[in-house]
């Protein structure tokens, strides 16, 4: 999967070529896919509703396979960015 802009002023590309569904941890498997830990467990550790959390083994699973992706609420700053209003995406 690749997510990028076809507008000037936003050159960031997010790409993930991993087989997330095929490598999904058993605890996160859902019919036809792989869910995130927050919807599966609904715990503060995995949802980070208070904003006071760190990475978990599950967020590391996604980050190791898709380093561009934002994997938990306080993920590294390289995964969070914005493009100008009016940007078109492909």
Interval 34-85: pLDDT, tens: 999 999 999 988 888 887 788 899 999 999 999 888 887 777 776 777 888 9
pLDDT > 90? residue 27: yes
Q: Which position has the token pair 């995964």?
A: 79
Structural domain for 55, as ranges: 2-65
Which H helix or E strand runs over 16?
Answer: none
Does any domain span residue 56?
yes
Give how many domains the chain has, as a whole number. 1
Is the pTM higher than 0.85? The answer reads no
Does any domain span residue 84?
no
Give the pLDDT score at 35: 95
User: With bands split at pLDDT 50, 70 and 90, how would you rate the model's confidence at 21?
Assistant: very high
Contact criterion met (CB below 8 Å) for 11 and 2: no
β-strand partners of 3:
14
Strand positions, DSSP E, the chain: 2-3, 14-15, 29-30, 33-34
Q: CB count, 10 Å around CB of 37?
A: 22
């Amino acid at each position: 999967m690749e997510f990028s802009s076809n507008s000037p002023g936003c050159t960031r590309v997010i790409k993930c070529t991993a087989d997330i569904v095929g490598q999904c941890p058993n605890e996160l498997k859902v019919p036809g896919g792989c869910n995130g830990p927050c919807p599966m467990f609904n715990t503060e550790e995995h949802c980070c509703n208070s904003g006071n959390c760190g990475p978990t083994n599950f967020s590391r699973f996604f980050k190791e396979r898709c380093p561009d992706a934002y994997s938990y609420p306080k993920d590294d700053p390289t995964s969070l960015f914005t493009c100008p209003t009016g940007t078109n995406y492909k």
